[in-house]
A and B are shown apart, each in its own frame.
Chain A
Amino acid sequence: MPHPPQSRPFGVLTPLAAGLVLAAFATLPFWAGKGLVFLAGIVLVQIVFALSFNLMFGLTGLVSFGQAAFFAAGAYASAWLARSAPGLPFILSIAFGAAVGAALSFLIGLVALRRASGIYFAILTLALGQLIYTVIGKTTALGREDGLIGIARPVLDFGLFRVDLATGDRYYFLLVVAAAIISGALWWVWHGSLGRILAAIRQEPERVRFLGVDVRRHREYAFLISGTMTALAGALMAPWSQIITPMIAHWSYSALPILFCLLGGSARFWGPAVGAIVFAGLEHGTRNMTGMAELVVGGALLLVVLAMPGGILGTLARLSGRPAREGAR
């Protein structure tokens, strides 16, 4: 009887690199200054944001321009609940943010996925996203254009003891743990049976349909998971930045995860994470070049997108002779 060829192991390089990056994030407060720690916290949130987005973009092949709406929904919903009911456990306000994001992405997915193909879907998500932006900016309970300020970092109550996340770098460590857990969950979806179907839908939706799969329903799953996880990222960010403004719902904020995906490589799970880190590095490295910063960052992005199709990870893999196949991602 013939045997299947040994499925390639996922390789040691990727887990090794992921472990090193995680270690760097986890130890950052011990060797870097406060400014860099704050930036790293933002980057962790953006990594979750971009990885969630890529489940829909790079894996399922849906180009959405309204992802910021879910980020803002999660951030605003959790911050609003935490301010309205200060005694509530932190986990509840985070869960509320995710739930609002889930409900919103379910509704928007239902409407936008009537036209899953290309430009229609992109414009629909853009329009619906801008609608959310406008609604937030005109809602008094959400601070209108000024946003919500002075969002408190929570106290975790474990019954026997309490951990005040407002002191020291504790909330930062919570971000590291949360980002690692969420990334792991997304990794599982990407590489699992559902992920294989979603990747197949990107490549040949008609074939998937004729394998007995409801393609529309599965695109909705991808949209829902992506939107919910994005809202979770937003909910985690609010207590870190302690101020949120309607700008996080703006379409220009929706462009961020797309940028990270193109920069790092959308065909691979970790691509957007690489993109987010490299982008933050570029911005941080050029922050003192008054007037030149945007030029340098923009030029570098242009270079990557034009000269490195498949992004940074795609190019690295090509150089090491491991072309993109689902086993290697």
Chain B
Amino acid sequence: MSLIQAHGLTFAYPSVRVLKDVAITVEANESHVVIGPNGAGKTTLFKVLSGEIFPQAGSIRYDGEDVTRLDAWQRVHRGIGRTFQVARLFGEQTVLNNVVLALECRERINGSSAGRWWRLTPARALQEEAMERLASYGLDRRAGDAAATLSHGDKKRLELLLTLALHPKLIMLDEPTAGMAPEDRRAVVALINRLREEEGLTLLLTEHDMEVVFGLATRLTVLNYGEIIASGDPEEVRRDARVQEIYFGKGGGHA
């Protein structure tokens, strides 16, 4: 079953066309990685698919529904989550309160009274759930610290935790391992694989690190100057002559 079916996506800034007639399909429970040189349009494609910006042409279907004109927050209600290249958190708030806020938002979406405006303090159950979620990511010891004081890797993990707190079906991760040390990268790969295999999540990612890409991709799409030049099984795409030439360079292997 296709979770996302997008056709003819076109997006242009006044001076440059960033996406040219892009078609992309994301199957349920796959780990779909989009790669491409800097400026290929990966982040713009993410923005269009998540509803952060609207394409000038083209259509996006999600789970059988046309979501082309739905804003990001409405797509979140339908089960799409997103993280950013540079983690976006509530820096002044404690780590715990970041998670509690996400849980309150989930309760709002579900229409439960635990997320209503008159509540002076968050429901006790939500605070305990937040602690459990933090503990399962090894962040519980930082629960009382301001989120701004976390390390780069911990910030990215916390952002992923916030996204997962809403029980999404599809999560879009924009360079989940950017700026991380090798051992942290391997941990992220293991975590993402576990989310897909055990929790049945569907993932759409961009990534630069080839070890990460081939460690978790079940499907690989290559974007170059706003056009998709190859898409399919990661090993087949790796052997594709155009991909070899444009992306991997003559030596192959690393970008």
Residues of A contacting B17 with CB < 8 Å? none
Q: Does B55 contact A (CB under 8 A)?
A: no
- Choose the segment among B125-133, B183-191, B236-244 that binds chain A (4+ C-beta atoms closer than 8 Å): B125-133
* A193 and B81 contacting across the interface, CB-CB below 8 Å: no
Q: Does A325 contact B (CB under 8 A)?
A: yes
- Choose the segment among B8-16, B22-30, B92-100, B225-233 that binds chain A (4+ C-beta atoms closer than 8 Å): B92-100
B33 to chain A, nearest CB (A): 20
Contact A203-B81, Cβ < 8 Å, known A211-B162, A212-B108, A212-B109: no
Q: Does A210 contact B (CB under 8 A)?
A: yes
A208-222, CB under 8 A of B: which get 1 and which 0? 111111110000000
Q: Does B36 contact A (CB under 8 A)?
A: no
A8 to chain B, nearest CB (A): 9
Residues of A contacting B52 with CB < 8 Å? 206, 209
Q: Which residue of B lies closest to A8 (CB)?
A: B144
A195 to B163, CA, bound (A): 21
A78-96, CB under 8 A of B: which get 1 and which 0? 0000000000000000000
* A210 and B72 contacting across the interface, CB-CB below 8 Å: yes
Most buried by A among B71, B81, B90, B122: B90
A residues adjacent to B (C-beta < 8 A)? 1-5, 7, 188-189, 191-194, 196-197, 199-200, 203-204, 206-215, 324-327
**Besides A200-B93, A212-B109, 11 other CB < 8 A contacts?**
A2-B131, A2-B140, A192-B120, A193-B122, A200-B90, A207-B162, A209-B76, A210-B88, A211-B162, A212-B105, A214-B71
Residues of A contacting B144 with CB < 8 Å? 5
**Which residue in A3, A204, A210, A212 is a CB contact (below 8 Å) of B90?**
A204
Residues of B contacting A213 with CB < 8 Å? 73, 105, 108
Q: Which residue of B lies closest to A7 (CB)?
A: B121
A326 to B97, CA, bound (A): 9
Residues of A contacting B104 with CB < 8 Å? 193, 196-197
Residues of A contacting B76 with CB < 8 Å? 209-212
B53 to chain A, nearest CB (A): 12
* B163 and A210 contacting across the interface, CB-CB below 8 Å: yes
Residues of B contacting A203 with CB < 8 Å? 90-93
* A4 and B93 contacting across the interface, CB-CB below 8 Å: no
A184 to chain B, nearest CB (A): 12
**Number of B positions contacting A (CB below 8 A):** 49
A138 to B248, CA, bound (A): 71
A199 to B116, CA, bound (A): 16
* A209 and B72 contacting across the interface, CB-CB below 8 Å: yes
A194 to B166, CA, bound (A): 18
A4 to B97, CA, bound (A): 10
Q: Does B195 contact A (CB under 8 A)?
A: no
B124 to chain A, nearest CB (A): 8
In B172-224, the 8 Å CB interface with A consists of none
Residues of B contacting A324 with CB < 8 Å? 92
A325 to chain B, nearest CB (A): 7
**Which residue in B101, B120, B146 is a CB contact (below 8 Å) of A325?**
B146
Most buried by A among B115, B130, B132, B144: B144
Residues of A contacting B94 with CB < 8 Å? 325, 327
A192 to B115, CA, bound (A): 10
Residues of A contacting B117 with CB < 8 Å? 189, 192-194
A185 to B178, CA, bound (A): 45
Residues of B contacting A197 with CB < 8 Å? 101, 104-105
Q: Does B77 contact A (CB under 8 A)?
A: yes
Q: Does B89 contact A (CB under 8 A)?
A: yes
Q: Does B143 contact A (CB under 8 A)?
A: yes
B34 to chain A, nearest CB (A): 19
List the 4 shortest-distance A-B pairs measured between CB atoms, nearest first: A212-B76, A194-B117, A211-B105, A207-B88
**Which residue in B92, B101, B118 is a CB contact (below 8 Å) of A192?**
B118
* B89 and A207 contacting across the interface, CB-CB below 8 Å: yes
B38-63, CB under 8 A of A: which get 1 and which 0? 00000000000010100000000000
Residues of A contacting B50 with CB < 8 Å? 210
Residues of B contacting A327 with CB < 8 Å? 94
Residues of B contacting A209 with CB < 8 Å? 52, 71-73, 76
* B81 and A191 contacting across the interface, CB-CB below 8 Å: no
* A4 and B88 contacting across the interface, CB-CB below 8 Å: no
B78 to chain A, nearest CB (A): 9
Most buried by A among B50, B102, B105, B121: B105
